Chains A and B, each alone.
Chain A
Amino acid sequence: MQKNSPVINEKVAFETLEMRGITKRFPGVLANDNVNFDLRAGEVHALLGENGAGKSTLMKILYGMYHPDAGEILINGKTVRINSPTSAIQQGIGMIHQHFMLVPTLTVAENVALGLPSSRKPLTDLDRVSERIISLADKYHLSIDPSAYIWQLSVGQQQRVEIIKALYRGAAILLLDEPTAVLTPQEVNELFAIMRQMQSDGYGLVFISHKLHEVISISERVTVLRDGRNVGTRLTCDVTQNTLAKWMVGREIEFIKSTDKPQVGEVRLALEDVSCRSDRGVEGLRGVNLTVHSGEIVGLAGVSGNGQLELAEALTGLRPITKGRILIEGEDVTGKKPAEITEKGLSYIPEERMKDGMIRDFSISENLVLREHHKMPFSKHGFLQMSYINDHADRLIEQYRVKTPSRKTLAKSLSGGNIQKVLLARELSREPRAIVAAQPTRGLDIGASEYVHEQLLMERKKGTAILLISEDLDEILALADRIAVIYEGKIMDILPRETATKEDIGLLMAGVHPGETIRNEKCD
């Protein structure tokens, strides 16, 4: 490295990466059992598996966050020891986390330079960092302004900053942990274009996902993990979605789809010209009109942060509205307290299950009565009726197949899927008239998602009105009878399922009506 140039690591020379016989044991469970995995320069290798299959553990070992109990890692044929993320970066390994590691109040350049020595100590060398960012961004069509603040950027753009950060540090191997989970379909396409460009430049990319069609479309090879073991590594062109799904779950699975015509009844939920503020004090909803009928599922599609949370909270009485009316079964409930709205028979599955829907340090039985702890038979004259509460818990644990050592287990020690089961058990056992379900399968594996979908379809059959808020278009297309798209606090359009296409929904999610001329945002 010559003097006075900014401290940049040139791309590390990389031919092959091999993980051999990796074993990682946690008490009572084998997270990785003699796993072999390899990556070549110039390929995208997909790593597929359910939650708990061990794919994150494997990648955390590669990135130096866990230490394997057995096995070795070879880069370019030589054994290396990776003790920490720092040493992983020195070996040319970069990781794009699912939750971005960026400081929102700093600029792109500042974030990239963070933690790296300056070439002009003790002064910063941000102008040089910026130059380098621009050259990297140009090369991969990342279109990022180094002087922009992170908080001004969309989620997709923030992801590109993460990629630049890794490239800037000389990464030749990129581990992408479920990178498409937060993106619109269009943004996914852009990400894939970037990945292909990097691939042709000799980078090695590991793509972690559980979305089968994405794996099929982007990867050269695919490795499936199940219960900590490598079920198989294949060329992607040799496999189909169905075989992959079977390997992942270990059995045949059917993709649930509601095909029957909905038995639509009266209007159960109605929002009339509803506006409200977001937590930041700006307009969260801007004049939303939406109805959900008995016996139908209305899907609310949109990129995260476009008013979905505000809409759910306005409906459930958790957020005051500034304009408009909310009706449940024709009755005006505007301004009513959450407890009163719960009384009207509205159940709510919140997006942030652990924060908003459950009390971490309460037991399962205590959490199961969160909504009705003050009512008969769980409470009589202000005293909790423990025998009813315990029976209720035992019954629901069995009925909803919650995996737990006992009803006394604290919510925080349950797995994501089981937490969602407890929540569903509580919300559905109340025999609701209407349900607001926000991201009900986020973070769940295929088995648990399947279960949630079955439950929702069963409620639909019973005539419950369901508002399904989801960022997962596949989920919405599979379940919803009508699809509303929200963008910046407004409902862009409501499409019947029969005529809705992914492309149209994607455009609406980006705030564009299909057929409109699309501005080229790259010129911004």
Chain B
Amino acid sequence: MPPKQATSDLRLKDRAGSIFDQLMPIFATLAALLVGAIFLMLLGANPLVAYGALAQGAFGSFNAFTETLVKAVPLLLVGLGTCIAYRGSVTNIGGEGQMIIGAILSTWFGLTFTELPGWLAIIIAMLLGIIGGMIWGGIPGILKAYFNVNEILSTVMMNAIAVQVMNYLMRGPMIDPVQREAASQIPQTARLLETYRLPRLSPTRLHMGLLIAILLAVAVYFLLWRTTLGYRIRAVGQSQPASKYGGIDVKKHIVVALLLSGAFAGLAGMMQVYGVNYRMITDGSATGFTGNAGFNGIVAALFGQLHPLITIPASVLFGGLLVGANAMQRVVQVPSALITALNGLVVVFVVSSEFFRRRSQKRRQSQFGTELAEPEDAEMQQEAGEA
């Protein structure tokens, strides 16, 4: 046997390395901000002042913080859907479209049926938001499971379709009657009844959706690790042959993963209408309605390492970045395009850090003799584990 000291040193190094891996997204964000600092300097702004304003704008006051939370709600919901999809090894890039369709269905309901008690209307609207998202997520799911269509392509395409559906409805059938009469013809719907709106923590814009989203995060954790359905989704995500062998219908669970993933995005869309704006409005692009939450939610989930509970703080962090960026823009007077660029930088850095995380994990494992899955090596690792 080798000296105990050397072994425990190695083990310690291994542990430290793995903690470093866990913190990788944070380092990636810092690196992105560093590159952003170069942009800021090129634009003649002091990065320290700018980032100070960002932090102040995001977390500096109670009001600022509630705005951050408002932004975090759709990120968290889309992020939860992302957790489910990725655990089932499907990539759902269709959050934007699923949000839009969920919002359309629930808005149509809220504007059409105006005689219901508020609580009932909200529950039905939530269900319709979920259904809308499920339809838009389920179609790519069926296409992938039964026709082998790549879900990344199909979900992105479904986004484009959803935007045009929204534009058509906002300009025509669902346009606010006031706007129909007016010359301005702003493509937006009428406002929802006051009783139909999600309760708010006045005077802020923070609405009940946050509470629901957090409860759902816990529910997703339960779903994935404590239910038969979650077991099956994860099994299919990890190994299709072994799942088949275990009697699991692989195709069905691919569809289910995308259905559930879409459901959360659809609910996020509903909440943007019932909690924040009280109407649907389009500027012709998806971003005009979703504020990119359908994409940023994916990043928040990756940031949260696809764990529903870690996705909660990750969403708040990203919400803060979005809110704070606006404040930064006001203070240091940089063009708003920089904010989008900064946001993009964070996304690129975080997503690519995942690659480095995996690589360093692999390197550590091969250095310590694991991953080379040959029986002999595995045996050694096993014995190492016991020692």
Smallest Cβ-Cβ distance to A371: which chain B residue: B246
- Contact (Cβ within 8 A) B376 A51: yes
- Contact (Cβ within 8 A) B10 A27: yes
Stretch of B60-68, B94-102, B154-162, B222-230 at the chain-chain interface? B222-230
Q: How far is the CA of A409 from the CA of B378 in the complex (A)?
A: 13
Chain B 1-25: CB-based contact to A (< 8 A → 1; otherwise 0)? 1100001001100100000000000
- Contact (Cβ within 8 A) A414 B378: yes
Contact partner of B245 (CB less than 8 A), chosen from A57, A348, A360, A418, is: A348
Whether, in the assembled complex, A337 has its beta carbon less than 8 Å from a beta carbon of chain B, the answer is yes
Q: How far is the CA of A26 from the CA of B14 in the complex (A)?
A: 13
- Contact (Cβ within 8 A) B376 A413: no
Most buried by B among A27, A366, A413, A444: A27
Chain A 344-364: CB-based contact to B (< 8 A → 1; otherwise 0)? 000010101011111111100
- Chain A residues near B242 (CB-CB < 8 A): 355-359, 370
- Contact (Cβ within 8 A) B226 A29: no
- Contact (Cβ within 8 A) B238 A52: no
- Chain B residues near A386 (CB-CB < 8 A): 226
Whether, in the assembled complex, A115 has its beta carbon less than 8 Å from a beta carbon of chain B, the answer is no
| Shortest distance from the beta carbon of A371 to any chain B beta carbon, whole Å | 6
- Contact (Cβ within 8 A) A52 B227: no
A window 67-108: CB within 8 A of B: none
Contact partner of A56 (CB less than 8 A), chosen from B227, B239, B374, is: B374
Stretch of B73-81, B190-198, B365-373 at the chain-chain interface? B365-373
Chain A 36-72: CB-based contact to B (< 8 A → 1; otherwise 0)? 0000000000000001101011000000000000000
- Contact (Cβ within 8 A) B245 A356: yes
- Contact (Cβ within 8 A) A405 B384: no
- Contact (Cβ within 8 A) A413 B381: yes
| Shortest distance from the beta carbon of B2 to any chain A beta carbon, whole Å | 5
- Contact (Cβ within 8 A) B241 A356: yes
B window 185-222: CB within 8 A of A: none
Give the total of B residues in contact with A, Cβ under 8 Å. Answer: 44
- Contact (Cβ within 8 A) A357 B245: yes
- Contact (Cβ within 8 A) B228 A379: yes
Chain A 402-418: CB-based contact to B (< 8 A → 1; otherwise 0)? 01110001001111111
Q: How far is the CA of A414 from the CA of B381 in the complex (A)?
A: 8
Main secondary structure of the interface of B (DSSP, over half): helix
Q: How far is the CA of A359 from the CA of B237 in the complex (A)?
A: 10
Q: How far is the CA of A373 from the CA of B231 in the complex (A)?
A: 8
Contact A56 B376, CB 8 Å, known A318-B245, A355-B241, A384-B231: yes
Whether, in the assembled complex, A314 has its beta carbon less than 8 Å from a beta carbon of chain B, the answer is no
Whether, in the assembled complex, B104 has its beta carbon less than 8 Å from a beta carbon of chain A, the answer is no
- Chain B residues near A30 (CB-CB < 8 A): 1-2
Whether, in the assembled complex, A456 has its beta carbon less than 8 Å from a beta carbon of chain B, the answer is no
- Contact (Cβ within 8 A) B368 A26: yes
A window 379-432: CB within 8 A of B: 379, 382-384, 386, 403-405, 409, 412-418
- Chain A residues near B379 (CB-CB < 8 A): 51-52, 415-417
Q: How far is the CA of A26 from the CA of B229 in the complex (A)?
A: 40
- Chain A residues near B249 (CB-CB < 8 A): 337
Q: How far is the CA of A185 from the CA of B192 in the complex (A)?
A: 81
Tier of interface size on chain A = 35 or more
Smallest Cβ-Cβ distance to A375: which chain B residue: B228
Contact partner of B378 (CB less than 8 A), chosen from A27, A382, A416, is: A416
Q: How far is the CA of A355 from the CA of B242 in the complex (A)?
A: 6
- Chain A residues near B335 (CB-CB < 8 A): none
Contact partner of A52 (CB less than 8 A), chosen from B11, B231, B375, is: B375
- Contact (Cβ within 8 A) B247 A338: yes
Q: How far is the CA of A352 from the CA of B207 in the complex (A)?
A: 52
Q: How far is the CA of A493 from the CA of B306 in the complex (A)?
A: 54
A window 323-347: CB within 8 A of B: 337-339, 342
Whether, in the assembled complex, A31 has its beta carbon less than 8 Å from a beta carbon of chain B, the answer is yes
- Chain B residues near A54 (CB-CB < 8 A): 376
Q: How far is the CA of A51 from the CA of B14 in the complex (A)?
A: 26
- Chain A residues near B34 (CB-CB < 8 A): none
- Chain B residues near A360 (CB-CB < 8 A): 238-239
- Contact (Cβ within 8 A) B10 A52: no
Contact A361 B370, CB 8 Å, known A30-B1, A350-B245, A371-B247: no
| Shortest distance from the beta carbon of B76 to any chain A beta carbon, whole Å | 24
Contact A28 B376, CB 8 Å, known A348-B245, A362-B235: no
Whether, in the assembled complex, B152 has its beta carbon less than 8 Å from a beta carbon of chain A, the answer is no
| Shortest distance from the beta carbon of B67 to any chain A beta carbon, whole Å | 38
Add 7 more A-B contacts to A374-B247, A403-B382 (CB < 8 A): A30-B2, A337-B247, A358-B242, A362-B235, A384-B228, A405-B385, A417-B379
Measured CB to CB, the residues of A under 8 A from B are 25-31, 51-52, 54, 56-57, 316, 318, 337-339, 342, 348, 350, 352, 354-362, 366, 370-371, 373-374, 379, 382-384, 386, 403-405, 409, 412-418, 443-444
Can you spell out 10 A-B residue pairs with CB atoms less than 8 angstroms apart? A51-B379, A316-B245, A348-B245, A355-B242, A356-B245, A358-B242, A370-B235, A373-B232, A383-B227, A384-B230
